[in-house]
Structure 1
């Protein structure tokens, strides 16, 4: 559905000095919310004070980094007064050197929202007109075409954000309804006048952490859902393997007080009542990928509150340089463009998320192996009779799952430790936060692919367990999940290609279509 068709169902996220959440950014990115700049007179007056203070400093011949000086190591270069107005144009122009795939429209909306949030704090010395222009482009669906590669995460996301600055001024290209259009043409057809940036506004737009923070918001949302989805898959895998539900006992978990891990165990208890489990010659202890699943998933669950705090603090910060204190009439030079907190959060998140893939891949290996799956057919093939000899079930799917898992694990090398000295050793210690965030999104892509493979696997495994043991009963929550999966995935009774179903499941995962636990 076109975004314009959803406007009557969307909420509005208001940008002022109030605190925004990850969900606010995600909803704007996904088209579930509109962005609106506050029309509160006190807020707008506060924004104007910073810009007015800078104007007064310029009239009084004040020296202001990035306004009357060059940028970075060139801060020792004095800009002649008659050229001050041209400096912002040069800043975004010479940073137009990004490469790689372009950020998607949802990612770009998130980036624009993150930058608008920071500038709305009132410490960047920008005009109300600049904030209005960002909100106007979001409302019109005109999204800068931003290359994903070229930022070291300090001095902020300079190169990618230069594409936002240029589009505000009617230069470069935009996405419009999924099609690339010259920005000048798109703005003209939308009735939007290009901006002429004021002296510090190029620096204010570009010298910040908006790209990495936006990507981190999107990553958090996906990781949180994956923690619940992996738990539900684990419950179905345990049932299919005829596992011991007592592994998730409440008293057992009360003696190791990690709250996130305890929550995962509680979710598993809600899916796997212990009243029906009898040993009857079965293993007393399941293998680790089932028995220790709360401990693996729980690492992510326990880390999520820290990730949220780090991401939302960055989202709600003024993170450019210099900081303009319009109220106290001070120019404060610092390094708030440094994305170390986001870098650490993204490096940690990709590690915890990749471990979910490893867990699921081990569960799949048990499910398809007749030596370990407690009486189910090899490769979970549903074929019977003479045709069983030529059918191979989920054999290749397990290979693909292993490949995706290996790639996810390979990407867990922390990006933040690969700081490079750049820009004549002015930027001699940088965060690599944007690379960490991009890595995390790629890991999430791969783990979601593994999860899609496991959804086919546990749907098949549960179906076979019920066929093998008709008196076994699914708890209502698992029965509902099995029914939902069966609507998308027919039981594999004869070999067939599975990629169409994998893509359907991936779409459902990314749209978070299943309600998973309270």
Structure 2
């Protein structure tokens, strides 16, 4: 994305109001522009915190991480003449991350999350520091941040050290898709590298911005997945000539989990639940169809409290120590601890992986002619002599099963693997960033299963129509028009599999559609 042209017209003002998940997602996708609030009261509050810290230093006050070493080294007093160098040492020695780099989208979200936290006014940083992060977002200069190396307390120290270094003109950034030295990027944008004030290195790094940013992106994907899995279930039920009465409103009124009821309601709007049940239909469909609201509904019911935890963390002051500009106190605590995000991400990946498993089971029914109510084996569209050499969706079902298994394997909670680190100072840590990375991987794998299911239901709906036509049975109008519209959208992207072909290009196209949330579902 260019760092100078085609800027979004609308802005999100940091310091003006609480941010939402949607704000972070929009910033990550360059759909809105970041701006620091110009409100005088807000700017004065930030300045009061920095001024109080300056006065404390002049009066020879002792402040952790300002006049002392870090972590277990808090008992080491830093000579006054070296205090100014301490923040730069902090980001320097934490430059030991490894693993894949965070994507541009993820990096923008990380910058937004850190700027939001520092804008709470309890970190003792200067307005100039906030403006420098704002400028990185505005010019789309994105620090190259390795994804591995954080235990989630004392905050995301190692990954956020790459942000601190870039603010000071060190290390490298992405600009217009190219990797260039930070010093060059700042100069080209008319920015001056910072010389961090006391406490500012700690304020940038000692927080939960990375895990929280990833959690915002995960939430957005999980919310869409919930709806898309419901639509796929409706199309799977149609493909299997299933019993729509499993989603009856009265049935779900007596087990009133709101999210579960919502999923059942969506299915009611997609399927002919009000029509009389045909005697020739199976009285009770198998669990992966009949119990779909009970599986997808777990995620639907979890989303409100997941949002609450994520947005609470996003809009919190989560470094240490905190500087109270009103009471003029230094508050030493542990707000860098990412336990709530860790629990949210461990929980989300469990619910998401269960949806992958549900869809995988639906696919297994649809491709098996023992269970798909009269459709061809592997949903092959081939006929005549060529049917003998065509295998339809046989391999696709194997791949979907592999992706499902890998997603399920990753559901072990990361938060229970706390380690004692840093000379037993950080002896209980959250693992929140690992949990968030795991959750994103589970979402990625589940979206691959979803792509496979979209091919499957597109093929299955078409074949069910062929069977009904051959039997002189009127083709159902994919009730309510919703399923017909979805089928039409899939038909535009995916050709019928009437002759074996390589399906990877179709899968990759569908993944683009899923991740761009191309289909408008259940308004």
TM superposition score category, shorter chain reference: over 0.9
* Alpha-carbon offset, residue 7 of structure 1: 2.0
Looking at structure 2, the residues matched to 384 and 275 of structure 1 have their Cα atoms a distance apart, in angstroms, of: 36
* Alpha-carbon offset, residue 41 of structure 1: 1.2
SS at match of 2:7: helix
* Alpha-carbon offset, residue 40 of structure 1: 1.0
Give the equivalent residue in structure 1 for 2:491.
486
Q: Compute the TM-score of the two structures, normalised by the length of structure 2.
A: 0.98
Looking at structure 1, the residues matched to 357 and 405 of structure 2 have their Cα atoms a distance apart, in angstroms, of: 8
Structure 1's consecutive aligned runs of 4 or more residues displaced over 6 angstroms after TM superposition are none
Give the equivalent residue in structure 2 for 1:500.
505
Equivalence map 1:158-307=2 (5 Å): 158-276=157-275, 278-307=277-306
Equivalence map 1:111-510=2 (5 Å): 111-276=110-275, 278-470=277-469, 471-473=474-476, 474-475=478-479, 476-510=481-515
SS at match of 1:452: helix
SS at match of 1:324: strand
SS at match of 2:237: helix
Contact 1:12 1:36 in 2 (8 A): yes
Looking at structure 2, the residues matched to 161 and 2 of structure 1 have their Cα atoms a distance apart, in angstroms, of: 24
> CA deviation digits over 1:115-157, x for unaligned, max 9?
0000000000000000000001111110000000000000000
Looking at structure 2, the residues matched to 282 and 472 of structure 1 have their Cα atoms a distance apart, in angstroms, of: 16
SS at match of 1:181: strand
Contact 1:319 1:336 in 2 (8 A): yes
Indicate whether 1:27 and 2:26 are aligned: yes
Looking at structure 2, the residues matched to 207 and 477 of structure 1 have their Cα atoms a distance apart, in angstroms, of: 48
Contact 1:376 1:464 in 2 (8 A): yes
Looking at structure 2, the residues matched to 69 and 224 of structure 1 have their Cα atoms a distance apart, in angstroms, of: 44
> CA deviation digits over 1:67-116, x for unaligned, max 9?
00000000000000000000000000000000000000000000000000
Looking at structure 2, the residues matched to 187 and 12 of structure 1 have their Cα atoms a distance apart, in angstroms, of: 22
Looking at structure 1, the residues matched to 93 and 416 of structure 2 have their Cα atoms a distance apart, in angstroms, of: 28
Contact 2:4 2:139 in 1 (8 A): no
- The RMSD of aligned alpha carbons is 0.9
* Alpha-carbon offset, residue 5 of structure 1: 5.0
* Alpha-carbon offset, residue 283 of structure 1: 1.2
Aligned residues: 517
Between 268-277 and 79-88, report the one with greater CA deviation.
Answer: 268-277
Looking at structure 2, the residues matched to 6 and 463 of structure 1 have their Cα atoms a distance apart, in angstroms, of: 42
> CA deviation digits over 1:312-371, x for unaligned, max 9?
000000000001001110000000000000000000000000001000000000000000
Contact 1:3 1:31 in 2 (8 A): no
Q: Can you give the 5+ residue segments of structure 1 that lack an aligned partner in the other structure?
A: none
Give the equivalent residue in structure 2 for 1:107.
106
Contact 1:47 1:126 in 2 (8 A): yes
Contact 2:3 2:139 in 1 (8 A): no
Looking at structure 1, the residues matched to 163 and 21 of structure 2 have their Cα atoms a distance apart, in angstroms, of: 21
CA 1:172 to 1:485, structure 2 compared with 1: closer, same or farther past 3 Å? same
Contact 2:46 2:119 in 1 (8 A): yes
Contact 2:16 2:37 in 1 (8 A): no
Looking at structure 2, the residues matched to 206 and 163 of structure 1 have their Cα atoms a distance apart, in angstroms, of: 9
Between 463-472 and 375-384, report the one with greater CA deviation.
Answer: 463-472
Q: Can you give the 5+ residue segments of structure 2 that lack an aligned partner in the other structure?
A: none
> CA deviation digits over 1:196-220, x for unaligned, max 9?
0000000000000000000000000
